[in-house]
Structures are given as structure tokens and as C-alpha cells.
Structure 1
Amino acid sequence: MFKRIALFLATNLAVLLVFSVVMAVFGIDPRTNAGLLVMAVLFGFGGSLISLLSSKWIAKMTTRAHVIQEPRSEVERWLVQTVRRQAEASGIGMPEVAIYDAPEINAFATGANRNNALVAVSTGLLRAMDRDEAEAVLAHEVSHVANGDMITMALLQGVLNTFVIVLARLVGRVVDGFLGGQRDDGSVGIGYYLSVFVLDMVFGVLASVIAMWFSRHREFRADAGGAKLAGSRKMIAALERLSMTYGTSTLPKQVQAFGISGGVGHGLRRLFLSHPPLEERIAALRQASEAGAFNRPSVVS
């Protein structure tokens, strides 16, 4: 836990330092509209892109995942062979395959691009699921990679961050002008700082709702992709297994949205879920299967 917090703080401090230096070197004044936009883009996209580029390294460090270089057992050999077949069928580069020690049934995919990804499964999943169910979970994660979900989420988060920074400060200027009047030197007063502080949080919450809505939509797509790769029967069985054993995820925050487990919450909390409830995902797969969406023969035996 403390290692995760330290990595998060170090990353954000590094981003602040680098962008502060860049703005000073190029003479960017955030008090002007143009300067504000440049600052918002730098800070809004900078953190998201750095998080994306370091996602594999952070995931390996925080989960202490063992990357399979040379399979040491029949299980490891099967994992690598299955991911290789699914990656070839999806038209992506072979991801790294890893196992991390955790009691929960879970798996995740991360990486900066479709040809440089990581697919990892928990020891709890290997103990609790049979081969058909585990194959479907791997197919779900490979589908995340093939769909470019990691990149899309990073870009979406960057856009949302940028809007939050710009809107909070523009509204803050209006509020400050109303409270203290226009200043000839272009300076701002306490009203500006208080407004920005509050609006950053309010707009940040709204941005999170939008990001999580997209994340839930993306999970349905990954389930459908997993069904096409491994077969709808196996994908439904895997989700049903998860629904019987789901617990709190121990994955680091950076990759929780790309794990297969999630979606526990009701009411307003549902707006902030990265995954739809498992029963909804199962129902969607069954409906698609009945409609003939997965009638094509499975490409993974």
C-alpha cells in the first residue's frame, strides 16, 4: 500500500516539476487565455500519458508479477500458448504474460500500445477456474489490448483533465471579478483561488462520471471480444464464476479498470464504477449469443 502511495506521489511531483520548468523556459503565462490553455493541455495530458507509458512497469512493481520468460510448468506453458493464439487471431503483437500472487480471481491487461502490452492473471484465478473459464478471461484481456482501450482511456482522461483545468479557472476569474472587480495588473484575489479549489473538485467528479461511463461501455466490448475469441459459452461461464466468488480487488488503481472483476455498487455509487455489474454483463452476452452474434466458430481451441 505504502509503495503504491509513494509511486503515485513521486509521479505527480515529477509531472509538476517538469511542466513548471517547461512553462518557465518558454515564458508561458497561465494568467492569459492562451497560457491557460497551454498549461491545461500540459497538465491534463501529461499525467495521463506518463501514467500510460509507465503502466507496465508500475503494474509489475505493485503486483510483484512474475513475467513468464521461459515456462517453468505446464500451466505457464498453457498460459503463454493461449495468449499467443489469441493475440495472433486479434492481429496484435504478443503481450508479455505474467502471474501475480493474490487470492482474488482476477486478471488485467495494460501497456502503452497494442504491440507492447502485458496480460497478467492472479494465482487465485488459476486455482479457482477451469481451463475453459481461464481461457475466456485471457480472451477478455487480449480484447482490451486489441481494442486499444488503454490508449483510449488515457486520451479521454487527458481531454477531461484539460476541460476541468480550463473551465475551473475561467469560472474562477468570473467569480473573482464579480467579488473584487477588475484589476488593472491582471492579478486575482482570494475569490479566484477559493472558486478554483471548489470547481476543480466539482468538475473533477463530473469528469470521473464520464470516464467511468466509458469504462463500463468498454467492458461490454471486451466481453464480446472474449466471446468471439474463446466462445460465448466459456465467456459466460467465466463471468458466472466471478459472480459467485467476487471480492474486493487488490489491484493497483492504475490497472483496476482493466481487470476483469468489478461492478459492485448501487445508486449514485454506480456512476463511479469502472465495470458494469456482472449480472448485466452476463445478460448482455446471452442476449448477443441468442441473436447469433457469436455463431462464427471459435478461433481458439
Structure 2
Amino acid sequence: MKWNFARCITLFLLTNLAVVATLGSIAWLLDVEGFLARKGVHGPVLYLLLIVSAVNGFVGALFTLMLSKTLAKWLSGAKVIETPRTETEQWLKETVRRLASDAGIGTPDVAVFDSPDMNAFATGARRNSALVAVSSGLLQDMPRDEVEAVLAHEVAHVANGDMVTQTLLVGVLNTTVNFIANVVHFVTRGGSNRSDDSEERSTGASSFVTQLLLHVVLGLAPSLLVAWFSRQREFRADEGGAQLVSPQAMARALDRLRTQEGKPSLLPSTLQSFGIHGGRGLLALFASHPPLEVRIQRLVDAANSPSLSLN
């Protein structure tokens, strides 16, 4: 499936409707509307909350996706190579063009950002109009066959539609958290028909604190899910990169990254989940990238065993 703009919007709308329908069905089965009525909240409040939660949950994520290339260049300071000025820039553009052609996608913009960190990232709302950026440290400290493997990894991210799927996942989770927090907010307020202004202000303040705490607590589980998805995405991109170059080259590139293991990624935090490495988090469950040794072992096993496939 090619992730062109029309399909992105269609998938966004269908996902939004599916989330609203699912949450609405669960609320109906649990008689949330009756519960709210007993708490003094009447009318179609539940369904309004569903719509508001879906809009809040998805619009921010979609807006970020649409501006992802612009934001990534601004945050990282990456400069797009328009006309190559050096042999290295020419090689970069030609290599990305060839890998993108092999992966069946349009040629991404190619950029370089100034950082001693060996890293790279890919982003963009459309599969055929993405951005692949590499650090100056990567170009300086890696041989070209390994740089090519890193580029293949990033092209695989684009070909897999990872930016779109992560945006949809974040939108779904945001919608769910917002909906639950908004329902609790209305329940703790007991409706909006209070006549005592001082009581209204007191209740409003406490419900705001409750809602804020709910967002924090309820956000823990979605954070774990997003991190898990990000780790699976890295495995798939490693496999895609290995198919475009070779498992051996992909494994060597990852092994080279182990020389800076333990050091935090110098990419801005909003881009770290899209980089070739993200450093190790304090808790493995919240890490956006699997351990490098695990990624390398999977590639080695696939290269050495004819019974294993990278597909």
C-alpha cells in the first residue's frame, strides 16, 4: 500500500470513526450515560465528549505529522542537499535515490545535520515525499557500506509507513485518555447546573486537579504501548534495511553504533524515536529502541539460518 496523501487522510478519518464507535459501544455496554445521569449530568454529554476527545486526540497528532519535515529540519538544524557541492553529498543523494527505487517509493529529500553523534532519522507525512537526514558524525565515523546500511534502515521506515502508523496510534491513545479523563471530570463536577459560585469554583479546581492526575496516570499505559510499537518498528526497519543491502552490512552498522552505547542520543527528544539509535532508557519498557545486541543477533540469525526469513 502506498501512503499517498489521500490514503493518509482516508485512513485518519476511518480510524477516527472506528475509535468513536468503539468507545461509544463500550460506554453503552457499561451504561456510562445512565451513570452520568445519576450524577446530575444530562443530555447528549457523553457523545459530545467522544467527539471532543477524538478531535483533541487526533488533530494535534495529524498536525504534527503534516509539519513533520519542517519541524524536523528546524529542530535538528538539518540542511537539505539541493545541489551537491561535494563528492560525499553526491554519493548520499545517489545512494538514497537507488535505495528508494529498490524499496518502491519516491526519492526522499536528503539532508545533513551537524552533530558528533552517529545518527540518522526519517520523517514525512507521505511515503513518496519524505526526508532522510544523517549526522555529520555518522559520515565521519562510519565507512560507506555501513552508512549505506543506515540509509537503507531509514528508507525502510519510510517504505513501511511508520510515521503514519505511529501518528494513528498516538491519536487513538490520546483520544482514549482524553475521553476517560473528561468523563471523570464531569462526574466529579456532578454536572454544570450548580448555583453556588463558591462551590462551583471549589469543585472546578478539584476536578481540574483530578483530570490532570488522570492524564498523567492514564498516560503511562499508552506510553508503554507507543514505546513497544517503536521497538517493533525498529526491528522491521532493520529487516527492511537488510533486504535492501545485506544482513551483514546492517549488523556491522549497528555494531559500530555500540561504540557510543550508553551515551544519550543528541537528537532532539521529539526526533529520537525516528533515529537509528535512541540510547537506553532508565526503564527498558519505556525505551523507543531495542538493545543493539538484540537487533544485531536477529540479523546474524537471519543471515546464518536459511530457515529464517527477513520478511
The reply to whether residue 169 of structure 1 matches residue 177 of structure 2 is no
Partner of 2:271: 255
Q: Specify the SS of the correspondent of 2:270.
A: helix
- 1:195 paired to 2:203: no
Mapped to 1, the partners of 2:221 and 2:278 lie a distance apart of 21
Distance 1:183 1:120, change over 3 A: closer
Supply the AA of the counterpart residue of 1:77: Q
Q: Name the counterpart of 1:208.
A: 223
The equivalent residue for 1:129 is 142
SS in structure 2 at match of 1:253 = coil
Whichever residue aligns with residue 265 of structure 1, its letter is G
Which residue in 1 is equivalent to 2:304? 290
Q: How does 1:1-301 map to 2 (within 5 A)?
A: 32-174=45-187, 176=188, 182-183=190-191, 185=193, 189-190=203-204, 191-246=206-261, 247-265=263-281, 269-292=283-306, 293=308
Structure 1's unaligned 5+ residue stretches are 1-28, 297-301
Q: Which residue of the partner structure matches residue 33 of structure 2? A: none
> How far off its partner does 1:89 sit?
0.7
TM-score, scaled relative to structure 1: 0.81
Query: How far is 1:183 from its partner?
Result: 5.0
Aligned to 1:21: none
Q: Aligned equivalents of 2:103 and 2:43: distance in 1? A: 45
How far apart are the structure 2 equivalents of 1:30 and 1:220? 48
Contact 1:30–1:39 at 8 Å: present in 2 too? no
Q: How does the TM-score come out when normalised to structure 2?
A: 0.79
In structure 2, the residue corresponding to 1:254 is in which secondary structure? coil
Residue segments in structure 2 that go unaligned for 5+ positions in a row: 1-41
Change (3 A) 1:183 1:231: closer
Structure 2 Cα separation of the partners of residues 107 and 277 of structure 1: 17
Name the CA distance, whole Å, in 2 between partners of 1:109 and 1:197. 33
Deviation at 1:289, TM superposition (A): 1.9
Could you tell me how far apart the structure 2 residues matched to 1:30 and 1:50 are? 31
Shift of 1:184: 7.6
SS of 2:224 mapped into structure 1: helix
Letter paired with 1:290: N
Return the alpha-carbon distance in structure 2 between the equivalents of residues 112 and 220 of structure 1. Answer: 21
Go from structure 1 to structure 2 and tell me whether the alpha carbon gap of 1:134 and 1:185 turns closer, same or farther (over 3 Å shift).
same
Matched-pair contact (CA < 8 Å) for 1:231–1:294:
no
More displaced, 241-250 or 117-126? 241-250
Amino acid at match of 1:185: N
CA RMSD of aligned residues (A): 2.3
| Secondary structure of residue in 1 paired with 2:271 | helix
- How far has the Cα of 1:30 moved from its partner? 11
Are the structure 2 counterparts of residues 235 and 193 from structure 1 closer, same or farther at C-alpha, using a change threshold of 3 Å? same
Cα distance between partner residues in 2 of 1:101 and 1:50: 27
Contact 1:31/1:186 (<8 A) preserved: no
Instruction: Write the distance in 2 (CA, Å) between the matches of 1:295 and 1:208.
Output: 28
- 1:24-48: CA deviation from partner (whole Å, max 9, x where unpaired): xxxxx99811211111111110111
Q: Deviations over 1:56-81 (max 9, x none)?
A: 00111122212111111111111111
Tell me, in whole angstroms, the C-alpha distance in 1 between the residues paired with 2:43 and 2:139: 52
* CA gap 1:218/1:141 in 2 versus in 1, 3 angstroms: same
Identity across aligned pairs (percent)?
Answer: 49
